[in-house]
Structure formats: C-alpha cells, structure tokens
Amino acid sequence: MSAQTEIRRKTVRDIAKAKGGEPLVCLTAYDAPTAEMLDEHVDVILVGDSVGMVVHGLPSTVGVTMEMMVLHGQAVMRGSSTAFVVVDMPFGSYETNADQAFLNAARLMKDTGCQAVKIESGTYAATQIAHLVARGIPVMGHVGLRPQAVNVDGGFRAKGRTKDECRLVLEEAMAADEAGAFAIVVEGVASDLADEITKAVSCPTIGIGASAQCDGQILVIDDMLGTFDWVPRFVKKFGNRREDVINAVEAYAREVRSRQFPGAAQTYKLSKPMSN
Ligand code: KIV
C-alpha cells in the first residue's frame, strides 16, 4: 500500500481534541466481523470486558481474564482499520499496584496491537493511570457505575444518589483527568452530575446512561442491536437482532425439515458424470 493510499487509524490526539466538539461515536465490539461493520462509522471501538457477560454468558465482568481480553482484542484489531481501538483491563489485572498494571497493559498493547487500555478508576487508580501514561500507554478512565465493583455495590446500581456519592464520582473523574487519562467513560449517573464532570475535566467524557452533553456516547453493541430481551433503561434499541436471528433460524429449520434447503442454487452438479 503506498503512503498516499494508506488508511490511518484515528489516534489518541483525534480523540482528545473532540472535547467540546462533535460528540464521539463509540461502541463495543468483540469479534472481527462486527469490528469490520462498525469501523467506518465510529470513532472508538471498545473491546469491553462486557464481553464476559455478552459473549461468554458470565453473570458479571468479575470473571473476565487477560486471555479473554487478548483474544477478543486481536479479533477486533484484525477486523478494523480506521477506528481507535481501546481494550479493557479486566478485574484483578491492575488494582494491586502500578507495576502490575504496567505489565498487563503492556501485554494487551503488544499482543493485540490496540492503541489504548481502559481502567475502571476509583480514586486509587490515579497512580496506575499516571504510571502507564508516563510509560507510553494511553489510558481511558471509567467512573460512576463501575461494573467490576458489582460485589461491593451489591448490584449494578446507578451512582450519585447522595451528595457524598456525587462528590466521590466527581473526585474519581478529576483524579483520572489529572493523572493523564485521554478520555473518561462516565457510566450510570444522573445527567446533572455527568454535566458537572464534563465541565470539570479537561479530557472528553464518554457517557453511557449519563448525559447528552457528554463529549461522546458509548453503548454495548449487543444492547443497541437488540440481541437481548431485556435492556437497561438508558439503552435505545437501534435494531432487533434477536427477532431477526430467531426468524432466520425458524425459517432454516422449516426448510431443512421439508427438504426445501438446500435447493438447486445451493448444490453442486458435476458437469460430466463420474467414471469409475
Ligand atoms: O465493558 C464495557 O463494555 C464498558 C462499557 C459499558 C463502557 O465498559
């Protein structure tokens, strides 16, 4: 490919400069064909640890492993060529200290070729974020409802119900920003709090169940495509994949059982009879 025709992936600078501009379009993806379909339409593809629940049927993201993130990160990188790709650091891969975070983040970057990692960032994680950024790894923060903390929260609960909780989420966001995060996911908070965070931090905020005033929006791809019967209140279904898949599988089953499939168009005929 010549330098002229080379397709360039979006970079961390493209994402960071979206602050206050046209909203960033972000979606999760976990496999190559989905990444290929999203690629030209989105700014950011997040290989979220939601893969554990969406693809592997886990009850939460707590059981997600580095190996899962590497495998799905590689697939998404193979399927995409222009989107900025971020891979989630799974639960247990960064919390211990900055060295643990660096070793695991470097592995994600090297083994997948992704451009950044995401850390669910309580205030303590500012140390890890600063350590990674200083060593060449762009970090996306994630504040508010942090799914990896489901066992402490006793469920997936929206954040910012009390003044103290609002203050804490704002502190988490400001700590991630000051530590050098290039963007911050703000999940499951009231729109007022999301707006306050967006004003308070210098990097773009990416909302999910947050506010239209965030600098970008993200959804889990399967939620917005309608793969599941149930979706959280903040999700809008932009498709109905569940219905499409069930209709297609029912039609296939009918045609196999009635010997309509495969038809003439789907079967090979030898041009000359086989000699024995
Ligand atoms: O894992 C994930 O998909 C996420 C998004 C919900 C932001 O963190």
220 Cβ closer than 6 Å to some ligand 1 atom:
yes
Q: What pLDDT band is residue 62 in, cutting at 50, 70 and 90?
A: very high
101-157 pLDDT, tens digit each: 999 999 999 999 999 999 998 899 999 999 999 999 999 999 999 999 999 888 888
| Dihedral pair phi/psi, residue 156, rounded to 5° | -85, 90
Give the relative orientation of helices 163-179 and 191-200 as an angle to the nearest 10 degrees: 30
Element (H, E) at 146: none
Q: Which of 187, 196, 250, 255 is catalytic?
A: 187
218 Cβ closer than 6 Å to some ligand 1 atom:
yes
Cα 150 to middle of ligand 1, angstroms:
13
Ligand 1, atom 3: closest residue by C-alpha = 48
222 Cβ closer than 6 Å to some ligand 1 atom:
no
**Residues forming beta bridges with residue 27, ordered by sequence position:** 45, 219
Active site residue 187: yes
Instruction: State the amino acid at position 213 in one-letter form.
Output: Q
176-217 pLDDT, tens digit each: 999 999 999 999 999 999 999 999 999 999 999 999 999 999
Cα 200 to middle of ligand 1, angstroms:
22
Cα 51 to middle of ligand 1, angstroms:
9
Give the nearest ligand 1 atom to 28 CA. Answer: 3
Higher-confidence position of 154 and 246: 246
Check residue 121 and report its DSSP letter: -
Cα 140 to middle of ligand 1, angstroms:
11
